Amino acid sequence: IIRYRLEPINISFQTTNPELRCKMLHNRFAGDALNKVKRLFDAGIEMNGQIVLCKGLNDGKELERSISDLTAYLPHLKSVSVVPVGLSKYRDGLYPLEPFAKEDAREVLRVIRRWQEKLYETWGLHFIHASDEWYILAEQELPEEDSYDGYLQLENGVGMLRLMMEEFEDAMSRLAVSGTDEPEARKDRILSGVYSCVTGQISWPYIRRMADRITERFPGIRILVYPIRNDFFGERITVTGLLTGQDILAQLEGKELGDMLMLPENLLRSGEHVLLDDITVEEIAGTLQVLTDIVKSSGYDFVDAFVRKKE
């Protein structure tokens, strides 16, 4: 890594307590691995880190310790994300982890905000970031865009919803500039009809909000947004990307789907029209007897899926 400058490199820290890290990873060498971070730092390798937070293990004082220890690797360690552990229903024989509650999430956010304020004054970086799940669980608004330091941790779910909302707002403002809001233009350029889309439960409020904005501006369009409960992996798994075809089919059966069902792209395996449980997009369309389309993950693509120029 150092010789060939393979950077930025992503590191799963979990904790900087060597003994606790050995316990969490069930590996007696896991504590020693932290020494490699010093070598990467001394070589000037750009890094980003992650802490998967487990209730009663690496939260509380241990989280404070980890954040404090990791600040020693600034500025080469650009960011560290804190994400809650995902608990599926398949946990027989595994460590008895507990889910975080609303007050737990609020405490995690208090810790992170305090460190962000302190570190931004010195480094001009917020450095430590909470994934979107914490804000939803805490029932708090997402931070503004400038607090994400350029979205360094999107792959860990940090700022994905904020970025999507910002892109959506920009796309909607561009419609007005282009004249698409005008009644005359609307007749020629705007799709009308009833459409449906699915989403995970965690992102449902934001997708619903965007859909409402579109239908308010363009009364000829109606968008039905269905949050899908994850029965396959368990109800505690709420992200869209882990939904299965069988859950979508079961929960959309008998529902109004309109002229077309929009499926988010992150449901699919890369480069394929296949979901995690091997059900295809074509099978969903055939079983539900509805036309389907794939919508990419950005706010721009969401607007374009419903408000577009006719071919």
Chain segment 78-114, per-residue pLDDT in tens:
999 999 999 999 988 888 999 999 999 999 999 999 9
At residue 178, the pLDDT reads: 55
pLDDT digits (tens, 9 = 90+) for 268-300: 998 899 999 999 999 999 999 999 999 998 999
Buried b (16+ CB within 10 A) or exposed e, 128-160: bbbbbbbbbbbeeebbeeeebbebbbeebbbbb
Residue 32: is its pLDDT beyond 50? yes
Instruction: Kindly state the tokens that stand for 216.
Output: 């308010």
46-52: average pLDDT? 97
d(CA 288, CA 224): 15
The pLDDT value recorded for residue 177 is 60
Q: Would the pLDDT of 184 be above 80?
A: no
Backbone angles phi, psi at 2, to 5 degrees: -70, -45
pLDDT band at 128 (very low <50, low <70, confident <90, very high): very high
Band of pLDDT at residue 310, cut at 50, 70 and 90: very low
Average pLDDT for the chain: 92
